[in-house]
Every structure is written in C-alpha cells, then in structure tokens.
A and B are shown apart, each in its own frame.
Chain A
Amino acid sequence: MSPRGRLGLFLAGAAVVAALFTVACLGLPPFGGAHHPYGDRAVRAAVRHHTSNAIASVNFDQRALDTLGEETILFSAVLGAVVLLRQTADERRHTPAPAAVRPPIRRFGLLMLPVALAVGLYVVAHGQLSPGGGFQGGVVVATALHLLYIAADYRALERVRPLRPYEIGEAVGEAAYVITGLAAVLAGSAFLANVLPYGTFATLSSGGTVPLLNAAVGMEVACGVVVLLAQFLDQAVQIEGADGGGSDDDGPRGPGRRERA
C-alpha cells in the first residue's frame, strides 16, 4: 500500500476511534470519583494481611498468580532476546578501544556505584512497606551496575559482570517464586496462598509470603535486565558483522570472556 493510502486509512480509522472513544469517556465514571468497590476491598484485604503497601499486597498476595505470569513473560522475553542477539557464525568479536574518561566523571561513576546499588536494594527490601518493590528496585540495581560503563569502559564492565551468574540468578528468581507457591500447597493451602504468619503491621517482616515473593522478583528482574542489556551492549560495542569494518587483528578471541555459541 502506498504511504498516502496508508495514511488515509489511518486517518479514517483514527477519526472513528476518536469519536467512539470520546463518547465512551463521557460515559465513564467522572475522573476522581469516590466509587471504587474493588479498590476498597483490596485495601481491606491488604490491611487484614498486615501488608502496609496495598499495591504489593495486590501483586504478591491477592493476584500472585498473575504476577507469576508477568514474571514468566519477562523471563521468556529475556530468553528470546538472548537467542536473537547471540553471536552468529559469521560474526566476530572485536575489542573496543579503551575509552578516555575524564577523571571527575570516573570518580563520580565509581562513587555512585555503591550508592546506586544501595538505593536499589533499599527499594527492593521495603517493597511491602513503602513505594517500591522487586521490579522497581531490580531495575535500579541492574542500571547501577552499568555505571561502570560510564566510569570506565566496556571491558571494565565485563570484568565485574560475568554473565553466567546473572543467567543463573534470573532462573533462580523465577524458580523461587514457583517454589514459594508450591510450599503453600504442601502446607495444605492453595498455590501461592499466603500461608506464613503475617507479622506486625508496617515492619520489614510483615506480610507473610509477600516479602519472599518480592525478593524473588527483585532477583529475577535485576539479573534479567543485566542479561538483557548485556546482549544489546555486546551487539552494539563488540560484535562485528561479516561485512563490517573494524580492525582485523582482533579475531574472535575477545579478552577473557567465554564464548556463547
């Protein structure tokens, strides 16, 4: 279809969608209204299970099965990206030249690394109490590791980030989630039911299985995002196509890294 034809079709469709959507919006309960039957019930259930963050309670207690599905999507997406972005037979690795980083930026990156890791772990650990949780904190932890790429260069990042443990960590996180769910079955309840004692409201150990599932998700997300970004970084920085330029003396060795064929 020609670009003009496509645009015309889009404009016609968009006009219809816009009209119908506007009509539908006018029929929706007004923004900021007081009637939230599901929300009220979810909040009551969260307080009953001594989980002070009602969103964490919905995610890891009331809708824990859905979150298992979500984590599985994440897991398979990372797997898919690893498969799609692996080094093929006609590609070579080449060593990127060490980058020149100005000293203030180097110092800043190295100082920020532990701070950022601590912030990420804090966000994971307080998931059932204050805003945050396994997913948000996991991404911050993964991003924090990449501060090394800013502070030094790709080779420094590779030295502290052997991928194998992260690949295992991602699988362990996913498995820990399922095992926590199965443990509830063994304890004589339903899959992913909250069988642990609820603890004291608004303390770190409150919420029964919520902190456990939260930690499992945190681990999976942190490791998964590290693996994911590593694939993209590998492709962008290190892997040369067969027809690509680049220096020829490098060959496929790559400094101190194992081959993932």
Chain B
Amino acid sequence: MTGTLTDVLVAVALLLVAAAATAAVLNRDPVRQALVLSFLGLSLALLFTFLQAPDVALSQLAVGSAVTPLMILLTVRKVRRRPGDGGPPQGGAGDGRRGAGRDGRPPR
C-alpha cells in the first residue's frame, strides 16, 4: 500500500510540475513568469523528495525558488528602468511600485 501511495504522490507531483512548466512558458510577462518559475521550483522539489532524492530537492529549492526568480526580477527592473523599450518613460529611481506588464504588451 505504501508503494501505491508513493506512486500516487509521484504522479500528482509530476502533473503539477508539467502544469507549472506550461504556465511558466505561457506567462509572457517576465515578472509573472518569475513567480510561476518559483512555483515550478517548489513543485520540482516536492517531486524530487517523493522520488527519494532530498539532496536534489534541497538544491532545486535553493536555486529554483529563490536565486533564479530573484535574478529575473532584478534583470527586469534594470531593463525597464530606462525609456525606449516601448514602455512609458520612467524618470527617477525605481521604487518597485510599477505594475507588471508594462513591457509594451498588455498583461494576460
């Protein structure tokens, strides 16, 4: 029975990972994508734990749900700071208060 239940856990985590990966690709705005990517990292960590790989889960948790999304957010902030990318001109220091989806594309 424990084996069957582990299989169920693995299957649910697998479907969650597949759905999160699809959502990460379909969210075209990088800020939103960063949030979905951190969810993907989280669900991968769960899947890896169920596959009896806690070492890999730890490293996926640290990288996938913290470092990678943070780097993406910082890059977005840098890239959107200056006018000229189709977005509205933005003077002054960024205070992080601007909404997502100002990249010349409407938010989905």
Physical contact A–B (CB less than 8 Å): yes
Residues on A close to B: CB < 8 A?
32, 53, 55-56, 94, 96-97, 99, 123, 131-133, 135-136, 139-140, 142-143, 146, 225, 228-229, 232-233, 235-237, 240-241, 243-247
Mostly, the B contact residues are helix
Interface contact A247-B59, CB-CB below 8 Å: no
Q: Do A94 and B93 form a contact, CB below 8 Å, given A55-B55, A232-B75?
A: yes
Interface contact B92-A246, CB-CB below 8 Å: yes
Chain A CB count within 10 A is highest, among B55, B63, B77, B90, for B55
B82's partner among A53, A133, A244 (CB-CB below 8 A) is A244
Closest to B60 in A: A136
Residues of A within 8 A of B77 (CB): 236-237
Interface contact B55-A131, CB-CB below 8 Å: yes
Closest to B84 in A: A243
Sample of 30 A–B contacts (CB below 8 Å): A32-B7, A53-B55, A55-B55, A97-B93, A123-B58, A131-B58, A133-B55, A136-B61, A139-B59, A143-B62, A143-B66, A146-B70, A229-B67, A229-B74, A232-B74, A232-B75, A235-B78, A236-B75, A236-B77, A236-B78, A236-B81, A236-B94, A237-B77, A240-B81, A241-B81, A243-B82, A243-B84, A245-B89, A245-B91, A246-B91
Residues of A within 8 A of B93 (CB): 94, 96-97, 246-247
- Beyond A236-B75, A244-B82, A246-B92, 7 additional contacts (C-beta under 8 Å) are A136-B59, A136-B61, A143-B66, A229-B67, A243-B84, A245-B82, A245-B90
- A135 and B63 CA atoms in complex are apart in Å by 10
Interface contact B71-A232, CB-CB below 8 Å: yes
B74's partner among A135, A143, A236, A247 (CB-CB below 8 A) is A236
- A96 and B91 CA atoms in complex are apart in Å by 13
Interface contact B62-A229, CB-CB below 8 Å: no
Q: Do A136 and B55 form a contact, CB below 8 Å, given A96-B93, A245-B91, A247-B93?
A: yes
- A82 and B36 CA atoms in complex are apart in Å by 27
- A53 and B78 CA atoms in complex are apart in Å by 41
Q: How far is the CB of A212 from chain B (nearest CB, A)?
A: 19
- A135 and B84 CA atoms in complex are apart in Å by 39
Interface contact A244-B81, CB-CB below 8 Å: yes
Residues of A within 8 A of B59 (CB): 135-136, 139
